Amino acid sequence: MLSRRLKQLASYVEKEDVLGDIGTDHGYIPIYLLENNVTDKIIASDLNQGPLDNAKEELSQRGLMKSIDLRLGGGLDPYTPGEINTALIAGMGGTLIRKILEAGKEHLPYLKKLILQPMHGVVELRRFLLNNGYKIVDEDLIYENNIYYEIIVAERGEVQTYNHINLEFGFFMLEKNPKLSKDYVGLKLEKLQEIVDNITKHGSSASQEKVKELRESIEAYKEVIECL
């Protein structure tokens, strides 16, 4: 059985998608997609041989090896530009996901859909997507095992205008999950306040500009909570 997080990620894959599952680990999502006849056009890759061996064993036991291609390598390196039109990258930092996409820029014109689940660094990742020909078309927030997971779905599309709140909390997430989002924004607000208190107590005068910036974010977060 897939976790709620992985099942939600899998729900964004469609029949016509030629999927590259980057960092497949045990191959749980490809197995789910194949067994539920969502798509049989999957290439799964991983940086390390161990996870690929695990995935191969799971797939072999289920008689699914003929329906998938397993490849060793990091990021988009194992793929030829144009052979996949959808990339799924989950469970990594947003900075690393951005670097993977940036390093594989020759793939981006062919990747019509990106299904991403950054563990952190969402602002940097969203900014990269919006500045590189992608429009964010869906988002979700999953709370599982005491961890909040943000999911971002982006497609090649027209320029999408955005503000700081969009970068921090997306375009759809707050409306789709208002109660959960309120708790999530509240947690981030608490962390920001702790940083401000720490800088104020121990920081130098040079830190005051940073404090000003953080306080502006705190006020913006409070406005978001009031609207939820």
Q: Give tens-digit pLDDT for 6-32.
A: 999 999 999 999 999 999 988 999 999
Q: What is the pLDDT of residues 139-175, one digit of tens each?
A: 999 999 999 999 999 999 988 999 989 999 999 999 9
Write out pLDDT tens, residues 97-117: 999 999 999 999 999 999 999
55-91 pLDDT, tens digit each: 999 999 999 999 999 999 999 999 999 999 999 999 9
Between 36 and 198, the more confident residue is: 36
For 121-149, write each residue's pLDDT tens digit.
Answer: 999 999 999 999 999 999 999 999 999 99
* pLDDT the model gives residue 206: 62
pLDDT in tens, 178-209: 999 999 999 999 999 998 888 888 766 667 77
CA dihedral 33, 36, 41, 44 (to 10 degrees): 30
Domain locations in the chain as residue ranges = 4-164, 180-227
CATH of domain 4-164: 3.40.50.150
In whole angstroms, what is the distance from residue 189 CA to residue 184 CA?
A: 9
Q: What is the pTM of this model?
A: 0.93
- Strand order of the sheet with strand 113-118? 68-72, 42-46, 19-22, 86-92, 113-118, 147-156, 134-144
